[in-house]
Amino acid sequence: MATVVVMPKLGQSVETCIIIGWIKQKGDSITAGEPLCEVETDKSALEVESPASGTLLDVFFDEGEEVPVQVNIAAIGEPGEDITSLKPNVSAESPPEDKSSATTDEPVQAVPTQPAAFEVPRKRPSKSDRIKRRISPRAASLAEELGIDISGIRGTGPGGRIIERDVRAAPPTSVQPAAGQTRMTPPIQTELPPGETQSVPLQGTRKIIAERMLYSIQSTAQLTLNASADARALLSFRQRLKSSTEAFDLQNVTINDFILFAVSRTLPDHPELNAVLVKEAISQYESVHLGFAVDTPRCLMVPVIRDANTLNLKAISREAKRLTAACLEGDVSPDELTGGTFTVTNLGNMGIESFTPILNPPQVGILGVGNVNLKPVEVDGEVRHIPHIGLSLTIDHQTVDGAAAARFLGTLSGRLTAIDLLVAM
């Protein structure tokens, strides 16, 4: 009897996966545990292994298609077996129901809010409209809640079906202005400038990142504050650890590890920054689930160190290195990339002094770290050049006041200035 290959559920928040490519083709022999295809979630890419040995009788989806989890994607068995009953019924006429995400205590994605420039009428798609447009129930519910006109939305789900992500990424022009108001639409360049070009499709993870960055800017009131911290203690303490024979397990601690440790100890004193905004409700967390940006060949990833405020410097350094290696090797799980309450992104090793980090909704704060530069400081009537590290904090001004953000930066700066004492506490 033929064995079915099912699109695995690769995390509690994952609803669909994109088939990047088939490693095996129809008619190929395959062994149990051998890679069958490569799939991509909205967070990472990984291989799907064959559950059985035999012949790949058929594949039910093409490369590039987005497939709901728990749906049959292929069949393995003996040549000539009838696999008609195993083929999934994922068609335009009968789309599958979206599977609701399991209830967790982790933060979830915020629902976009509309600008206050005008009142948005609640335009609800009719039942016949849903069927005609092939919109999933969850996407239809979200469209109703936000007053989104689905007629102009292009579906990216199987068979062109509109899924929840498509509604979240809908441009502002999908929202109908109130009566008597005029929508201001800037001109859009539709023709490419002359010259040779290389076409790179905006798809997969890159497309998802683009959608999330646009959503972040459109749905939050972002304000960035820039400061710096005396880095002498950071530099000297790291140097002492590198050359110490007694603290061998701390010799590989990096400046970024020190930053993560200091942030994890500062956020509990400023709970308004260790929070998420979901459906007009602010949830402040006691535990610090600290995300940090990792640059990989495929894309930027943000793994999360769980309960970072309970970990010592050694444990934070070890976990950060483990998660970084998993991201670079493509082994990180989707659940390790979700549920953060605050994010740190460090561009200091690339020579950047300061920048404007973009929020990772529903989080309300993200810290950008710059490089170490000499800064003129007056000490006892004399100007001295002291190394300082750049800090750029972006907040969602809907929930965090500028003064509160400034206090957080002040506390963090003070703790970085005395990092050796903070570690010893």
Please spell the DSSP secondary structure of 192-217, one letter per residue: PPSS--------HHHHHHHHHHHHHH
Selecting among 28, 269, 307, 401, the annotated active-site residue is 401
Tens digits of residue pLDDT in 107-161: 433 333 333 332 333 344 444 444 444 676 667 777 877 777 777 787 776 556 6
Residues 6+ apart with CB under 8 A from 391: 226, 227, 228, 229, 367, 368, 369, 370, 409, 412, 413
Is residue 247 within 8 A of residue 403, CB to CB? The reply is no
User: 404 near 235, Cβ under 8 Å?
Assistant: no
Could you list the pLDDT tens digit for every one of the 425 residues in the chain?
Answer: 899 999 988 776 678 888 888 999 999 999 999 999 988 776 666 788 999 999 999 999 988 788 898 999 999 999 999 999 999 875 433 344 444 444 444 443 333 333 333 233 334 444 444 444 467 666 777 787 777 777 778 777 655 667 777 787 776 545 555 555 555 545 556 567 888 888 777 776 777 788 889 989 999 999 999 999 999 999 999 999 988 877 667 889 999 999 999 999 999 999 999 999 988 899 999 999 999 999 998 788 999 999 999 999 999 999 999 999 999 988 888 889 999 999 999 999 999 999 999 999 999 999 999 999 999 999 999 999 999 999 999 999 999 999 999 999 999 999 999 999 999 98
Residue 401 annotated among the catalytic residues of the structure: yes
Question: What's this model's pTM, rounded to 2 decimal places?
Answer: 0.66
Active-site pick, 129, 149, 397, 420:
397
What is the rounded distance in angstroms from the CA atom of residue 317 to the CA atom of residue 266?
A: 17
Q: Which helix (H) or strand (E) holds 278?
A: strand 275-278
Confirm if 106 and 334 have CB atoms less than 8 A apart: no
